[in-house]
Amino acid sequence: MHDNEHASHDHEESFIRKYIFSLDHKTIGKQFLIYGLIMFFVGGGLALLFRWQLAYPDQPLPIIGASQQYIDEGEVVTGADRMWERIYESDKEEWLEVSMPSGVITPEFYNMLFTMHATIMVFFVVVPILVGAFGNFLIPLMIGTRDMAFPILNMLSFWLAVLAAIVMVMGFFVPGGHASAGWTGYAPLSSDAQWTGVEWGLNLWAISLLLQGFSSLVGSINYITTIINMRAPGMTFFRMPLVIWSLFIVAILLLLAFPVLSSALALLIFDRLAGTTFFSATAEGGGDPLLWQHLFWFFGHPEVYILILPGMGIASELIPVFSRKPIFGYRSMVYAMIAIAFLGWIVWGHHMFQSGMRSGMGNFFMTTTMLIAVPSAIKTFNWLGTMFRGSIRFTTPMLHGIAFVSMFVIGGLSGIYMANTPVDVYIHDTYFIVAHIHYVVFGGSLFAIFGGIIFWFPKMYGRYMNDALSKIHFWLTFIAFNCTFFPMHILGVGAHMRRIANPTQYEYLQGFEGMNIFITMSAFTLGFAQLILVFNFFWSMYKGKAAEQNPWQVNTLEWEAPTPVPHGNFGQIPTVYRGPYEYSVPGEESDWIPQAEPEHAPATSGD
């Protein structure tokens, strides 16, 4: 090939090729980001709906409820009803009537809400943003290449994900309503429509996840190939930034884990549509209800590390940059991630301690699960070590990085309670688990996502995000998050079960009403805070302060590329001379040496 110098300006692309069916990894990354943010609002909105029910059981929802009342009873209660009236007058949505008669959430609908909340948050928000958006945007830029190995597959991966999201959201509008067997879809509840009354909703759920599986498969093949084969000269594996390591490991996990879920989903679809009985024990010649759980969690536990590892990677970028210090123990950070990924395959039984497994198996899974505390400890202490004797700058991305570390520690430590089999007998399926989930996925993954967005925004859009708004968003989120989810530990210790639509039905939970109301109000605040983020994101895209090429003075290669990054990324592929975290090297004038800076050359400043 001779066209070394092919940059974007020499061929104009049509709007569709450039923004819709783009083959450029950066555009696809941004598409995944916006897709994930939109779905975040869908998933979060569902959470707010069922939080209302938990705080005020069987009371009509505000606004929506009143409009339903209007439809049912023909009376206008508030001004907002007029809006809903217009939306619904032409065609009364049957499902809304069934699921929310007079605006009260029925128990069936409650089950659909948390099922879809979790499904959307896990498969359509956190994975697409962490892996789809950051993976696509960062991998080629940070390893110094022009694009992914298979750009067409890359585009396919995004559009398959869009299709999956459309199928998933469609489930709400089919007769019988959406999947309501929890995001874990335990059989036989999920495998036979007679137990839930849900017909096509659950089929669509399974089909959508199969599509999402194809999307991840294509994406992970792309990532693995690109990282192995297309690193810039001098970019050895152990000079790769840790976020690339994390994405590499996650791609392998996705590649190997998702097909197991696909096989389980295929069996589920056969059970539901073709009359097989793989998961139904009651039918003649029938199967095994625990089989689903084994297949699901064999996928599911690696999946939760898919949700956290890229977050760890992002934190490992933010903390050294803003402490102006090398990451503490680079290699042990890499080995720790590999250890987490490896151990993740042999702990799935910890979700099934109370399912009737033999007690010996319980002992095995308890031990392996608690062992994951070891590589997690290595990571945590290395982040602390990175800040030790540093020169810490409290930029907003750094605040998110610090929040990530501290919230992940809380979530991880609560994991130890659950890993402990005797204690899990008591706290399994209580709000203690819900608290754990959200401390790791919101406190962990989402804080890393927020930090990552603000950190790389200047490279993505050539502008800064508004810092005042970012700071308000951070503090509101940090406080509201803890107010929402910390009390859930207490609910759990009080044996408040998860997945119940109405806690007031239980005598021993009578004392918790106030706490549930407090949690709901905090959750609404948390949701409101996210509006600030989204407003800031889109506003800054057009109106933000213009950013220079390397505003945070970072060593890694993505900041070598001009801003905005042209098609093909680099004028000339950079050569890498050193590791990614050479900050504050003794005897150097500047406190950072970019990876592409030739040896012994005097260090230059940013732009």
Kind plus residue range of the DSSP H or E element containing 265: helix 242-273
Which residue in the set 167, 304, 387, 460 belongs to the binding site for other proteins (CB under 8 A)?
Answer: 387
* Residues 293-352, interacting with ligand HEA (CB under 6 A): 304, 307-308, 350-351
Does 62 bind ligand HEA (CB under 6 A)? Our answer is no
Spatial distance between the Cα atoms of 516 and 55, rounded to a whole number of angstroms: 5
Query: What phi and psi values does residue 546 have, to the nearest 5 degrees?
Result: -65, 140
- The amino acid sitting at 101 is P
- Between 53 and 466, CB nearer to ligand HEA: 53
Closest by CA position to 317, among listed 327, 307, 331: 327
Cβ atoms of 573 and 232 within 8 Å: the answer is: yes
434 binds, among ligand HEA, other proteins, Cu ion, none (CB under 5 to 8 A by kind): ligand HEA
Number of residues that bind ligand HEA (CB under 6 A): 58
Q: How far is the CB of 305 from Cu ion (least distance, A)?
A: 8
Spatial distance between the Cα atoms of 37 and 534, rounded to a whole number of angstroms: 8
**Class of residue 14 by CB neighbours under 10 A (exposed 0-12, middle 13-18, buried 19+):** exposed
Which residue in the set 281, 514, 538, 604 belongs to the binding site for other proteins (CB under 8 A)?
Answer: 281
* Residues 215-244, interacting with other proteins (CB under 8 A): 217, 220-222, 224-225, 228-233
Does 503 bind ligand HEA (CB under 6 A)? Our answer is no
Q: How far is the CB of 167 from other proteins (least distance, A)?
A: 21
Does 145 bind other proteins (CB under 8 A)? Our answer is yes
523 binds, among other proteins, ligand HEA, Cu ion, none (CB under 5 to 8 A by kind): ligand HEA
**Number of neighbouring beta carbons within 10 Å of residue 427:** 20
Beta-bridged to residue 430, according to DSSP, are 497
38 binds, among Cu ion, other proteins, ligand HEA, none (CB under 5 to 8 A by kind): none
Cis, peptide link before residue 564, omega less than 30° from 0: yes
Which residue in the set 122, 402, 480, 519 belongs to the binding site for other proteins (CB under 8 A)?
Answer: 402
Binding mask of the shown chain, residues 538 to 577, with x at each position contacting other proteins by CB under 8 A: ----------------------------------xx-x--
Q: How far is the CB of 263 from Cu ion (least distance, A)?
A: 19
Cβ atoms of 379 and 354 within 8 Å: the answer is: no
Lookup: tokens for 291? 């089989």
Closest by CA position to 525, among listed 554, 469, 482, 470: 482
Contacting range for ligand HEA; rule: CB under 6 A; set: 82-90, 99-107, 121-129, 466-474: 121-129
Cβ atoms of 451 and 314 within 8 Å: the answer is: yes
**Number of neighbouring beta carbons within 10 Å of residue 407:** 24
Does 416 bind ligand HEA (CB under 6 A)? Our answer is yes
- Between 301 and 489, CB nearer to Cu ion: 301
Which residue in the set 409, 476, 483, 603 belongs to the binding site for ligand HEA (CB under 6 A)?
Answer: 409
CB-based burial, 490-501: b 16+ in 10 Å, e otherwise: ebbeebbbbebb
Cβ-based neighbours of 143, under 8 Å, separated by 6 or more: 226, 227, 230, 231, 232, 235, 240, 244, 557
**Number of neighbouring beta carbons within 10 Å of residue 433:** 21
Closest by CA position to 456, among listed 158, 129, 229: 129
- Between 298 and 481, CB nearer to Cu ion: 298
Number of residues that bind other proteins (CB under 8 A): 145
Which residue in the set 59, 78, 236, 391 belongs to the binding site for other proteins (CB under 8 A)?
Answer: 391
- Between 40 and 592, CB nearer to ligand HEA: 40
- Between 142 and 526, CB nearer to ligand HEA: 526
Q: How far is the CB of 404 from other proteins (least distance, A)?
A: 12
Separation in Å, CA 242 to CA 28, 155, 179, 312, 318: 22, 25, 38, 9, 11
Cβ atoms of 495 and 99 within 8 Å: the answer is: no
Separation in Å, CA 554 to CA 25, 49, 388: 21, 42, 19
Q: How far is the CB of 86 from other proteins (least distance, A)?
A: 31
Does 415 bind ligand HEA (CB under 6 A)? Our answer is yes
Binding mask of the shown chain, residues 173 to 212, with x at each position contacting other proteins by CB under 8 A: -------xxx---x-xx-----xxx---------------
* Residues 342-401, interacting with ligand HEA (CB under 6 A): 350-351, 369, 372-373, 376-377, 380
Binding mask of the shown chain, residues 504 to 543, with x at each position contacting ligand HEA by CB under 6 A: -------------------x--xxx-xx------------
* Long-range CB contacts for residues 597-600, cutoff 8 Å, separation at least 24: none
Kind plus residue range of the DSSP H or E element containing 111: helix 107-119
Which residue in the set 64, 104, 309, 366 belongs to the binding site for other proteins (CB under 8 A)?
Answer: 366
Interface residues toward ligand HEA, by CB under 6 A:
40-41, 44-45, 47-48, 51, 114-115, 117-118, 121-122, 125-126, 182-184, 304, 307-308, 350-351, 369, 372-373, 376-377, 380, 409, 412-413, 415-416, 418-419, 424, 428, 433-434, 436-438, 440-442, 444-446, 484, 498-499, 523, 526-528, 530-531
